[in-house]
Chains A and B, each alone.
Chain A
């Protein structure tokens, strides 16, 4: 009997060895371990044996059963492993194929620049506010110390808006500076704000001139604000926007609503000051106009110029990406050619 069992075990294992799929494995299991399987029959036949023999054979049969079950388990695992490997092999792909097209939206480069610049000033405690694009002559010129028939008006070729004849003509603001007046009219110092927005000029367009463009105005008024503070603020802006190693300089310039007035330039990063095409051979690139708020402007909004002082500046927005990326035609910005816009 024991010999029979040993034979059975040997046969079972030799059969198991060659099984290579789950179907045959199941047949094998039924053949040996199923309800009518050989081993099950052996165990069932034990009851007819003498007690002593029954014990010996029983133990041997149980041992074999455990061995077969272990073999079955092992085989099952290995077959599963194999079939997974086959499935994986079959589902290999060319990983270089393009994926499903995703629609990527982008901000207009002007938006990106405004956000960046305003964030720089916001971090220095400046509020970000906005104002109207259609303006009164009063805010755009008169209150900014640019009376009618003043030659300085030539600095801002103006698009006038058709409106009933009146003392105060309507126009498209030529700069964001009118917001200096509007802001100071409705608040008291301390004032610290930047004002981004669209501005307009009566100007034939070419690579460097647009009839519509964006500016960011800055204004800070309080007791004790000096040109040193203006330098500190704007030099910091220049470094944050154009690079840590940039040097900046002021030179005297004229804007009717500031006194003293300055224009700020940064050193040319292409030639490092030696002179090149970008900087017009001067080594310096002009980026903005600024100055100390003119006492006449302060008086106009009832700020006492002997008590309060402040500075103002105006930056052309498009000029920043133009310089940064070497864009040579400002008309690309509002021409909205997607081949241009998608590069930013």
Chain B
């Protein structure tokens, strides 16, 4: 909403500088986003009156114009077609800055010789002043413009660009802002007095209005003016409309817009000659009914949309836009002026469904007061009579099925203390609320009955009144205090604890945390997660963000890809985020997962030499350590997945439950994702499953006073035998405290299909120093068990 200060001054005295006014409005809830000063650049431009017009001796299309500037006269060469003696025009003296009508650039005016005649100054068009794009002729100022006065003093203005919140439709009007200013600056707001003669026949003889769907139309008022002459509206209306960002059309349409901006009540003018049967019916459209709206678009309506119809067809989409057939145009003689109030939700639905948001629908959907209709109607009727002539029919139509009593609120003053923490006295409360138009009737010493003014549709209970008080006194007035009440009981979410531990662990392992979009494309989704369980966004912003991901892998691989080209060393990424999994018609399961990916050289380029390439065992090391940290014993089961290298993939299993998946990304997928052709290892673990098992494996064991003995043992087994199985058997023996696999070997001396596994086994007793004999005995037992359970053969000591 743009508000011209010149206009605002009609309704309230403005005593403070623009900046201060803008600040006060902003602080009290009506944000001023910017202030545009009109005429700021109009130095050396004054109001002039054309005193004489003579032909240019050397050019047919130019004239010599003598302009009276009050104390002096100036004769200049002029090319405009509309020079007329007696007209008042903006006159730029040498040195003024004007916008070049052709190039649009700002240039300084110099004395010039045009076809042999020296011209010092010029009469200006609107475009040259930067007021509008009009450059067809001179700008003609109103007759009352004072000759010789700087144009900025006469026409200068400041326009506030305001952000009006949806709860304040009353502030989508100049009068609404004037009321705010009045309350903030302790002034009175003045509302225009409306009076006009009704010299025509009674309106009921010509027009009838029927509201069929009263649930969607709270009030319908109309007036009729016959014999109107359609033409341009006067400059002052045009200027104000332009200042507020609206385009002038003709006097009647401009007046409806002008009064809408003034009162906040949208109005619509029909060419009464086009209203069949002189009958207005407010009804729902029939399904598929059509109308061509004022913007020339042919629209198909649905049965939940309200229309204004004559006896046959819709003539307007109620509260949204008029129809082209009954538009007021040059030959229109009779005007049926509508000022109505429609159901806000219905208007909003209609305008959204038609994708047609108008200044009118914007106001109606916010729920303006039905009390406005008649006031605005009479104001607009008066202006039409004044500026377009004609005769008003006697009386107005006023059908008002939605009438409500003014809202009254019982307001105990302790509500102020309760919500703001400060005391306010009855006087102060009454004064502030009174300045905003609320009527206050004290009910005893500490309670007041407040009657809400009709325009304040947003105020319905005590808390609303407290806000009014706070915003007018200013929030600085409220002291800063510290809460002293009891605290809620402690809360503990083991999943969050484990999750944050994991986050720290991953960072400690040298992984960079990333956070990626929860929405992915179908193609990306299909890379990893189950597509069937994925939820789709009904109105996606793009195909790239269409599905809620069911795994972090699509995102992690995308992030890897986008960084590979510019990262020098290896990349290690992790993310802790959610997988979203459909759960019938209920909200989806939002499963927290930890995902990680590594690829590239294990170490950056270094004079200390290369360290090989990141692969399966880098993430295996991390997962092993992470599980150990949480005290979780897990198994790793080879698994085949389309996305993973068939021989380098594993499920992470605890008990019977799969808690995660890891492996090297299938080379085919690496290629299709356009990743660098190198090993990519990736994993994902379900955090809830980790959290529910964390800590189970922990237990304190006293340190032994007796020495450890370590022995190496190497066995040969079939290639298929998992190393972990061998290791677990050894670990299972008493007195074995640690087992480390330090060599895996195939090749010379090992038969084909076999591999050698070498372990360092640490033995220790808590009761005595182990003897060689004891240890050898244990080793024999171990080998025997391994041989029995895995077919292992002892290779060497």
> Chain A residues in contact with chain B, CB under 8 A?
97-98, 100-108, 110-111, 124-125, 127-130, 132-136, 147-152, 154-155, 159-164, 166, 170, 172, 187, 190-193, 198, 200, 202-205, 211-212, 220, 222-229, 231-233, 235, 249-254, 256, 259-262, 292, 294-295, 305, 309, 333-339, 341-342
Contacts and interface: CB of A to CB of B under 8 A. Distances in A.
Contacts of B722: none
Contact of A228 (B478, B511, B567, B570): B478
Contact of A107 (B503, B519, B585): B503
B513 A107 contact: yes
B467 A259 contact: yes
A338 B559 CA distance: 9
B548 A193 contact: no
Contacts of A106: 507, 512-513
B513 A251 contact: no
Interface stretch (B136-144, B165-173, B230-238, B657-665): B165-173
Given A132-B587, A164-B585, A334 B516 contact: yes
Nearest to A248: B480
Given A211-B545, A251-B27, A105 B510 contact: yes
Given A105-B511, A151-B344, A190 B485 contact: yes
Nearest to B33: A280
Given A100-B606, A102-B510, A334-B515, A228 B480 contact: yes
B781 interface: no
Nearest to A147: B345
Contact of B481 (A151, A222, A229): A229
B563 A232 contact: no
Nearest to B458: A254
A202 B541 contact: yes
A217 to B, nearest CB: 15
B456 interface: no
B476 A190 contact: no
B513 A111 contact: yes
Question: How extensive is the interface on chain B, given as a class?
Answer: 35 or more
29 contacts: A105-B507, A110-B515, A130-B496, A133-B578, A149-B345, A150-B345, A151-B344, A159-B537, A159-B540, A161-B536, A161-B537, A162-B538, A170-B587, A187-B488, A192-B487, A200-B518, A200-B519, A211-B541, A226-B481, A249-B476, A251-B27, A252-B28, A252-B475, A253-B29, A259-B466, A261-B467, A295-B462, A336-B563, A341-B512
Contacts of A130: 493, 496
Interface stretch (B195-203, B419-427, B735-743, B783-791): B419-427
Contact of A193 (B488, B493, B604): B488
Interface in B385-434: 417-422
Contacts of B569: 101
B572 A103 contact: yes
The list of the 6 closest CB pairs from A to B, nearest first, reads A103-B510, A226-B421, A228-B421, A252-B29, A260-B467, A149-B345
A224 B603 CA distance: 59
B639 interface: no
Contacts of A133: 518, 578, 580, 590
Contacts of A103: 509-511, 570, 572
Contacts of A162: 535-538
B567 A105 contact: no
B104 interface: no
A260 B469 CA distance: 10
Given A149-B349, A336-B516, A337-B562, A251 B419 contact: no
B469 to A, nearest CB: 9
B310 interface: no
B572 A101 contact: no
B92 to A, nearest CB: 30
Interface of B: 26-29, 31, 165-168, 344-346, 348-349, 365-367, 417-422, 461-464, 466-467, 470-471, 475-476, 478-483, 485-488, 490-491, 493, 496, 503, 506-519, 535-541, 545, 548, 559, 562-563, 566-567, 569-572, 574, 578, 580, 585, 587-588, 590, 603-604, 606-608
A200 B367 CA distance: 28
Contacts of B366: 151
Nearest to B511: A105
Contacts of B480: 228, 231-232, 235
Given A105-B508, A107-B503, A163-B585, A222 B607 contact: no
A302 B538 CA distance: 33
Given A105-B509, A159-B539, 4 more contacts: A150-B345, A191-B488, A253-B165, A337-B563
B555 to A, nearest CB: 9
B585 A251 contact: no
B348 A338 contact: no
Nearest to B483: A229
Contacts of B559: 336
B567 A338 contact: yes
B56 to A, nearest CB: 48
A284 B785 CA distance: 77
A261 B570 CA distance: 50
A146 to B, nearest CB: 10
Contacts of A152: 166-167
A101 B603 CA distance: 6
B773 to A, nearest CB: 43
A127 B488 contact: yes
A254 B537 contact: no
Contact of A134 (B346, B496, B580): B580
A250 to B, nearest CB: 4
Contact of B485 (A225, A251, A341): A225
A211 B536 CA distance: 16
Contacts of B345: 147-150
Most buried by B among A133, A155, A256, A342: A133
A229 B420 contact: no
A108 B479 contact: no
A226 B420 contact: yes
Nearest to A183: B488
Given A149-B349, A254-B167, A295-B463, A227 B478 contact: yes
A251 B588 contact: no
B470 A227 contact: yes
A229 B517 CA distance: 36
A229 B496 CA distance: 29
Contacts of A155: 166
Contacts of B607: 97-98
B365 A151 contact: yes
Most buried by A among B31, B166, B168, B607: B166
A338 B571 contact: yes
Contacts of B485: 190, 222-225
A227 B422 CA distance: 9
Contact of A108 (B165, B475, B515): B515
A262 B475 contact: yes
A29 to B, nearest CB: 38
Contacts of A233: 482-483
Contacts of A134: 535, 548, 580, 587-588, 590
A267 to B, nearest CB: 13
Contacts of B563: 336-338
Nearest to B419: A292
Most buried by A among B482, B509, B569: B482
A231 B491 contact: no
Nearest to A251: B27
Contacts of A250: 475-476, 478
Nearest to B475: A250
B167 A105 contact: no
Contacts of B26: 251
B515 A336 contact: yes
A252 B470 contact: yes
B550 to A, nearest CB: 13
B419 A260 contact: yes
Contacts of B488: 125, 127, 187, 190-193
A190 B487 contact: yes
A224 B539 CA distance: 43
